[in-house]
Amino acid sequence: MDETAERLLGSASRLSRDPETEIDWEAPIGDGYGMSPEWSTLYGTPYWDELTEAQQRELTRHESASVATTGIWFELILQQMILRDVYDKPPRSAEFQWALTEIADECRHSIMFARATERMVEPAYRPRLLARELGRMFKTVATGETAYAAILVAEEVLDVMQRDWMRDRRVEPLVRTVNHIHVVEESRHMVFAREETRERLAGAGRGRRWVSALVIAIAADMIVSSMVSRQVYANVGLDAERAVREARSNEHHRSLLRTSCANLMDFLGSVGLLTPAAARVYRRTGLL
């Protein structure tokens, strides 16, 4: 573990990015998409086709802001879980120092996301109350592989979307830069989370694996379903009922999620966290 952590610390010193200085926060915002339109929860539905291009653009900006807000939410959860996990670890160890580096990264990311959403759209979004309360509980009790694999799932789902958005020339430049900063630093966090998950699971019995796998899957479901608030649709002047209904049965979106999360599912499978019960949850969520 310390070897991985040392390498990651080295990597962070080679390239860490400071959104404070790297992004010109005063630069005017254009009218680009907030995310790749294909990633919109409505893309491919009849409702999407009824919208004008300007409405589609506006919708993606709100969806992107909502996703970023969800990102802030689980970055807060994550910071608290990591802090609890390393509380009594020796401060001189690379693992300890890397953990604090990661917290510092997440802290900067959350501020960056908050500022970017403020620049992009008027209304503020928050995950729904149930998700917030479950998150409150989760961050207090989750330990070991449950904590790290949940971190991994959350970060990876966000990461795969952002990899597309950052490369997409239709997307607003501010969003592209913010996403790239996040993707670079997240790549290290995910390596760490995988390593921790593997290590914590070594020697875990079937019962514990079964419970952990299910808890992680439920956490993933909560995260994915919280990404885009239903408030988004109302705020861009859509029929929220209809939008939610069409988004829920949007096979294009599910296929995109499934494709993007293939590596994640592969990892969970390789460490034995894709039990039949967990797999059922992932299928329902649209990740498998």
Partner 1 sequence: MSYVISGECCSDASCVAVCPMNSIHPSPGEPGFGAGVSLFIDPRTCIDCGACADICPVDAAQPADQAAPEDVERNAAYFAEREPLEATDLDSWEPPAYQVWGDGPRRVLVVGAGPAGMYATRELLLRTTAEVTLVDRLDQVGGLVRFGVAPDHPRTKQIIDTFERIVGHSRVRWLPGTDSTSLTTGYDAVVHAVGARRSRRLGISGEDSACTAEDFVAWYNGRPGATLPVQLTGPRAVVVGNGNVALDVARLLLSDEDQLRQMDVSPDVRRVLAASGIKEVVLLGRRGPETAAYTETALQELLAAAGDRVELRFHARPTSWTSEGLTLESGDTIAAGNLFTAIGFEGQAVDGLPFDADRGIVPNVRGAVVGRPGHYVAGWIKRGARGGIGVNKACAQETVTTLVSSSRAAASPGS
Q: Summarize as ranges the residues that interact with partner 1 (CB under 8 A).
A: 4, 7-8, 10-11, 14-15, 36, 38, 44, 163-164, 166-169, 176-177, 180, 183-184, 186-188, 190-191, 194, 251-252, 255-256, 258-259, 262-263, 266-267, 269-270, 274, 279, 283, 288
β-pair partners for 33:
171
Q: In 3D, which of 172, 179, 222, 233 has the Cα closest to residue 42?
A: 233
β-pair partners for 204:
none
> Smallest gap, in angstroms, from Cβ of residue 276 to partner 1?
8
Residue 131 or 151 with smaller CB distance to partner 1: 151
Residue 91 or 259 with smaller CB distance to partner 1: 259
> Smallest gap, in angstroms, from Cβ of residue 260 to partner 1?
9
> Smallest gap, in angstroms, from Cβ of residue 263 to partner 1?
6
Hey, how many other C-beta atoms are within 10 angstroms of the C-beta on 285? 21
> Smallest gap, in angstroms, from Cβ of residue 40 to partner 1?
11
Hey, how many other C-beta atoms are within 10 angstroms of the C-beta on 34? 28
3-state secondary structure of 33: strand
Residue 43 or 96 with smaller CB distance to partner 1: 43
Cα 1 off chain centre by:
24
Cα 164 off chain centre by:
14
Residue 84 or 258 with smaller CB distance to partner 1: 258
Residue 77 or 288 with smaller CB distance to partner 1: 288
Residue 128 or 170 with smaller CB distance to partner 1: 170
Residue with tokens 């990651």: 8
> Smallest gap, in angstroms, from Cβ of residue 194 to partner 1?
6
Q: How far apart are CA 44 and CA 60, in angstroms?
A: 14
Q: How far apart are the first and last CA of the chain?
A: 29
Residue 81 or 278 with smaller CB distance to partner 1: 278
What is the signed CA dihedral for 255, 256, 260, 262, rounded to 10 degrees? 0
Contact 99, 12 (CB under 8 A): no
> Smallest gap, in angstroms, from Cβ of residue 274 to partner 1?
8
> Smallest gap, in angstroms, from Cβ of residue 98 to partner 1?
12
